[in-house]
Chains A and B, each alone.
Chain A
Amino acid sequence: MEHVAQSLISGIVVGSIYALVALGFVLIYKSTAVINFAQGELLMFGAYICLTLVTVMKLPFIVSFVVTLLAAAMLGFLLERLFLRPMIGEPIISVIMLTIGLASLMQGFIHVIWGSDTMVFPAIFSQEPLRFAGIAISQVYVYSVAAAVICLLLFNLYFRFSSSGIAMRAVANDQQAAQAMGISISKIFAIAWAIAAIVAGIGGILIGNINGVNTSLSSFGLKVFPAVILGGLDSIPGAILGGFIIGILEALSGIYLDPLFEGGTKEVVPFIVLVIILMIKPYGLFGTEEIEKI
Chain B
Amino acid sequence: MVKNRVGDEAILKGEEITLSFGGISALMGVNFSVKKGEVFSIIGPNGAGKSSLYNVINGFYHPQRGRVIFKGQEITHMKPYEIARLGIARSFQNIELFKHMSVLENMMLGRHIHIKYGLFSSMLYFGPGRKEEVIHRKRVEDIIDFLEIEHIRKKQVGTLSYGLQKRVEMARALCLEPEILLLDEPMAGMNLEETEDMCRFIVDVNTEWGMTVLLIEHDMGVVMDMSDRLMVLDFGESIAEGTPEEVQKNEKVATAYLGDSDGVFLGR
Contact = CB atoms under 8 A, between A and B. Distances in A.
Interface of A: 157-158, 161-164, 166-167, 169-170, 173-174, 176-185, 288
A184 B81 contact: yes
Contact of A161 (B79, B110, B123, B176): B123
B112 A181 contact: yes
A180 B89 contact: yes
Nearest to A171: B98
Contacts of A182: 81, 84-85, 112-113, 176
Contacts of B173: 180
Contacts of B81: 179, 181-185
Nearest to A164: B119
B252 interface: no
B97 to A, nearest CB: 7
Contacts of B112: 163, 166-167, 170, 181-183
Interface in B102-153: 105, 108-110, 112-113, 115, 117-119, 122-123, 125
Given A169-B101, A173-B100, A163 B117 contact: yes
A169 B122 CA distance: 16
B80 A179 contact: yes
Of the listed residues A157, A183, A185, the one surrounded by the most CB atoms of chain B closer than 10 A to its CB is A183
20 contacts: A162-B118, A163-B115, A163-B118, A164-B119, A166-B108, A167-B112, A170-B112, A173-B98, A173-B101, A174-B97, A174-B99, A176-B96, A177-B97, A178-B98, A180-B173, A181-B81, A181-B176, A182-B113, A182-B176, A185-B81
B172 interface: yes
Given A177-B98, A288-B100, 9 more contacts: A161-B122, A163-B117, A166-B109, A166-B112, A170-B101, A173-B99, A173-B100, A177-B92, A181-B112
Interface of B: 58-60, 79-81, 84-85, 89-90, 92, 96-101, 105, 108-110, 112-113, 115, 117-119, 122-123, 125, 172-173, 176
B129 to A, nearest CB: 9
Nearest to B98: A173
Contacts of A177: 92, 96-98
Given A162-B122, A167-B112, A179 B97 contact: no
A161 B173 CA distance: 21
A182 B79 CA distance: 9
A63 to B, nearest CB: 22
A239 B216 CA distance: 43
Contact of A180 (B80, B99, B118, B123): B80
A162 B133 CA distance: 12
Nearest to B173: A180
Nearest to A176: B96
Of the listed residues B97, B100, B109, B115, the one surrounded by the most CB atoms of chain A closer than 10 A to its CB is B109
Contacts of A178: 98, 109
A162 B123 contact: yes
A16 to B, nearest CB: 23
A172 to B, nearest CB: 9
B109 A179 contact: no
Contacts of B79: 179, 184
A179 B84 contact: yes
Of the listed residues B80, B84, B113, the one surrounded by the most CB atoms of chain A closer than 10 A to its CB is B80
Contacts of B108: 166
Contacts of B59: 179
Contacts of A158: 119, 123
B60 A163 contact: no
A288 B100 CA distance: 10
A183 B82 CA distance: 8
A176 B17 CA distance: 22
Contacts of A166: 105, 108-109, 112
A179 B78 CA distance: 12
A170 B60 contact: no
Nearest to A177: B96
B84 A181 contact: yes
